[in-house]
Amino acid sequence: MAPLPLNRRRFLQSGMAASATALLAAPGGPAATRSTAFAAPAVQETTNLRVMVWGRPDTVNWAYQAFQRAAPDAARGITVEPVVGGPGDQEVAEQFRLLLSAGGQDMPDVIRLNRTQVPEFAAAGVLADLTDLIAPYREDMIENALQLASFDDRVVAIPTQLKSKVWYYRADLFEEAGIDPAAVTDIDAFVEAGRTLNEALPESFISSMRAEAPGYLQQSIVTSFSPIAFYDREAGQFQVTTHPGFRANYETLDKLRAPEISAPVDAFTPDWAPAFGDGTIASVLINEWMTGFLPLYVPEQAGLWKVHAWPNVGDSNEGSDAGGAVWVIPAQAPNPEAAFEFLATANLSTEGSLALLEIGGLTPFVTSAREQVPSMPAPEPAVGAENPIPWPPDFFGEEYFPVVFDAEERLTWIDFDPSAPRELSLWFEWSERFVAGQQGIDETLEGLQADLESQIGDPWQV
């Protein structure tokens, strides 16, 4: 039998609106493997969708503008209200937990998460199951994007931003120092290029790190060794002391923190953006989301920055920062049908994908949209737009899209489990001590392993 449309009354009658705390606590049973499903009838009246994000509301506004372009008639029946849940994805996830523990009152219609948090909520059965609804779009999505939105063979999210590994560098400074990025094929070559750069331009550095190694960098390093996970579920044990990716992370950080390689500036501190502006930071191993930041930091440097594939760590340059960002529809969302129509049109349709690229610089993962990108002219600047993102080839050069498309084909991520937020927190705490020189690689790995075992135990029993 086809599932009945999930309206608010039927959801309450189903018994699934019982304590969300119990749902999150139950490791077994249907709720642990299957999220709530609903059908999506046409929206008949004006509906206001509350959409929770982190940082700034741009991503919601971009999605709604894309929706308006792709489906203007449908958009007249839906409005959106951005809700900023905190500065980062972890704060948004905590807001989601609090809403669940309160019985779902004031639950937004849509929540933006990273792949990091998806297993926790999907395993608990508190996300809408989108498997059937997304079927018409599957063939047009690249496989990595579809897998990013899936859990336990079900689609529980709609991808919106892949976070593949991209190396951004100042082409003018590299040329002045005699560095050919194409010759930088692995981390050792990257470090050697950093020495060359600093010798030629003593005030410039190929990387930056002072007191902490950013999480995006560490996730990008270890995912070169995919498949990788904190916990080996088959063996029933954590594996940070045995999986080569975790050791390679600290070996790489050890090389990057050398004073001639990294500027003494930490990411997203007050000194970071100015360090790009004055040439102190001449290069950054990061992820494609930097396209939305660097032009805002240094708009006057359009044409000076280029992109390139990451150098290999080990034998690979695949990987990502947390896989990517996704939209989820909570099982207790007030307007799930309208939420899906809005999200699918903006993110999965050809027209919506191209609009998101023009408006927010989000690289399409929809094949039909990708095919049109090489022949697209630069869009007209949006009049009065907040935080306008320039057309990426205008800022980063014509090679921008080929580099990013290739990187997205190499997208991998940590195989996160329901305890991923706590695992990442412990990992980054131990990494901070390592970067500060408080302990070596073996002590760091052994300490992290011990903390994971004692503080988490079985990460699937949450």
pLDDT 10s digit of each residue in the chain, 462 long? 333 333 332 332 333 333 333 333 333 333 333 344 555 555 457 999 999 999 999 999 999 999 999 999 999 999 999 999 999 999 999 999 999 999 999 999 999 999 999 999 999 999 999 999 999 999 999 999 999 999 999 999 999 999 999 999 999 999 999 999 999 999 999 999 999 999 999 999 999 999 999 999 999 999 999 999 999 999 999 999 999 999 999 999 999 999 999 999 999 999 999 999 999 999 999 999 999 999 999 999 999 999 999 999 999 999 999 999 999 999 999 999 999 999 999 999 999 999 999 998 999 999 999 999 999 999 987 666 666 789 999 999 999 999 999 999 999 999 999 999 999 999 999 999 999 999 999 999 999 999 999 999 999 997
**Domain co-membership, 185 together with 309:** yes
In a domain, 203, yes or no: yes
Rounded CA separation 282/279 (Å): 6
Specify if 23 maps to a domain: no
Last residue of a domain, one of 320, 346, 379: 320
Any domain includes 24 = no
449 within domain boundaries: yes
H or E element that contains 159 = strand 158-170
Q: Which residue segment(s) compose the domain that 282 sits in?
A: 164-320
Q: Residue 183: is it exposed, middle or buried by C-beta count within 10 angstroms (0-12/13-18/19+)?
A: exposed
Q: State whether 170 and 316 are in the same domain.
A: yes
The confidence score (pLDDT) of residue 387 equals 66
Give the model confidence (pLDDT) of 230-252 as tens digits: 999 999 999 999 999 999 999 99
Sequence-ordered alpha helix ranges (H) in 299-372: 336-348, 350-360, 367-370
Q: Is-above-0.85 flag for pTM? A: yes
Asked if the bond preceding 214 is cis, omega within 30° of 0, the reply is no
User: Is the four-CA dihedral 313, 316, 317, 321 of positive or negative sign?
Assistant: negative
295, 320, 345 - which closes a domain: 320
DSSP 288: G
* Residue 271 placed within a domain: yes
249 is a domain residue = yes
Task: Look up residue 452 and give its two tokens.
Answer: 């994971």
- CA 241 – CA 370 distance, rounded (Å): 41
Q: What's the longest Cα–Cα distance across the chain?
A: 70
Q: Please tell me whether residues 298 and 432 are part of one structural domain.
A: no
Structural domain tally of the chain? Answer: 2
Q: Are residues 295 and 424 in the same domain?
A: no
One domain for residues 170 and 308: yes
Domain co-membership, 177 together with 297: yes
Residue corresponding to tokens 């050791």: 247
Q: Both 434 and 312 in a single domain?
A: no
Q: What is the CATH number of the domain that holds 219?
A: 3.40.190.10
Question: What is the tens place of the pLDDT at every residue in 299-352?
Answer: 999 999 999 999 999 999 999 999 999 999 999 999 999 999 999 999 999 999
Boundary-marking domain end, from 304, 320, 336? 320
Q: Do 169 and 302 share a structural domain?
A: yes
- 82 belongs to a structural domain: no
Same domain, 305 and 168: yes
| Assigned domain for 297 exists | yes
Residue 462: per-residue pLDDT: 78
Q: For residue 32, what pLDDT is reported?
A: 32
